[in-house]
Amino acid sequence: MRHWIALIVLGAVVPLANAQDLFIYPAQGQSQDQQDLDEVQCRRFATERTGFDPMRTPTATTRAPEQQGGVVRGAARGALLGTAVGAITGDTRQGAAIGAASGGLMGGMRRRDSNRRQDQWAQQESANYQRSRSEFNRAFGACLEGRGYTVR
């Protein structure tokens, strides 16, 4: 589930890419056909320079952290351990109940920590995308400016 949330976060970055599109003015009176050709060539230049292609769907640069923990799994493990301890002390029911409660708490804490790591990963991936897009825009703009366009 957290993997899907991370992909949604990355997908939310795509509209930001459109917001970062540049305005290009043919300052030397270039024709629309010439401008189209220059844009294609400068996109290719910027992609080769930066390794970033704004036409591709964003992908993660690192693997998402594994999801861990969970109240139910923790409670089940705790109940098993508690039953074993209870069998030694002579009260398996009480041991299972105590084990389930403590296991549920531990599982919940592991889940919370796992969620925090997932959130940090998603934020890092978003920052990586923004940095790559910015570098691409700089290279693309420099190429167009070198060909006589005003880029904003």
Q: Is the pTM of this model over 0.75?
A: no
Residue type, 146: G
Q: Which two tokens stand for residue 137?
A: 């825009």
Sign for the CA dihedral angle at 106, 112, 115, 117 comes to negative
Q: In whole angstroms, give the CA distance from residue 21 to residue 150.
A: 14
Question: Cβ distance 40 to 34 under 8 Å?
Answer: no
What is the radius of gyration, based on Cα positions, of the chain? Answer: 27
Calculate the dihedral angle through the C-alpha atoms of 51, 56, 62, 65, rounding to the nearest 10 degrees.
170
pLDDT above 70: residue 4 = no
Report residue 32's pLDDT band, with 50, 70 and 90 as the boundaries.
Answer: very high
With beta carbons less than 8 A apart as the criterion, state whether 2 and 64 touch.
yes
Percent of the chain with pLDDT over 70: 61
Q: CA 106 to CA 84: how far, in whole Å?
A: 18
Confidence of residue 44 (pLDDT cuts 50, 70, 90): very high
Type of residue at 19: A
Q: What is the mean pLDDT of residues 55-78?
A: 69
Give CA 78 to chain center in angstroms.
33
Strand partners, 24: 151
